[in-house]
Amino acid sequence: MDISRLTLFGATSARLGWLSQRQGVLAQNIANADTPNYVPMDLKPLDFRARLRMAEQKLRVARTDDQHFGSSRTVRRHRESESREPYEMAPAGNSVVMEEQLMRMNQTAMDHQLATHIYRKYVGMIRTALGQGAR
């Protein structure tokens, strides 16, 4: 059984890869904080909704009782916030704001920790289902 083909493993692996790449980009921004005319970069956000739609097409939940939850149309939609322009700029034209970059790195580290935790729990569930117990 190839566990990488399971939906949750694929999504979690993609998320972990994106987070690793983002951490590298943010580290590069911090490393170039004193470089004249350097413009900080960030990765395009991972489109979780598209991945969710792909997963929904693969996995259809059967509604066997009228008291079960309704379709996904009842889910609340959240507004996406736009990224803002840098509010500080050094005299040399550098727009790296260290506090902002450090906050992004911290958020990325927390997201990485969450994705790793989900991955471990999913492995534990599979081990339990196979009778090997969660280690």
Instruction: Classify residue 15: in a domain, yes or no.
Output: yes
Instruction: Classify residue 30: in a domain, yes or no.
Output: yes
Q: Which residues of the chain have pLDDT under 70?
A: 1-4, 48, 51-52, 54-63, 65-93, 133-135
Instruction: Classify residue 81: in a domain, yes or no.
Output: no
Instruction: Classify residue 98: in a domain, yes or no.
Output: yes
* CB-based contact 128:122 (threshold 8 Å): no
Instruction: Classify residue 1: in a domain, yes or no.
Output: yes
Split into its structural domains, the chain has a count of 1
**How far is residue 5 CA from its own chain's centroid?**
19
pLDDT of residue 79: 42
pLDDT of residue 78: 41
Instruction: Classify residue 123: in a domain, yes or no.
Output: yes
**Angstrom distance (rounded) from CA 26 to CA 108:** 9
List the domain range (segments joined by +) for residue 11: 1-46+93-135
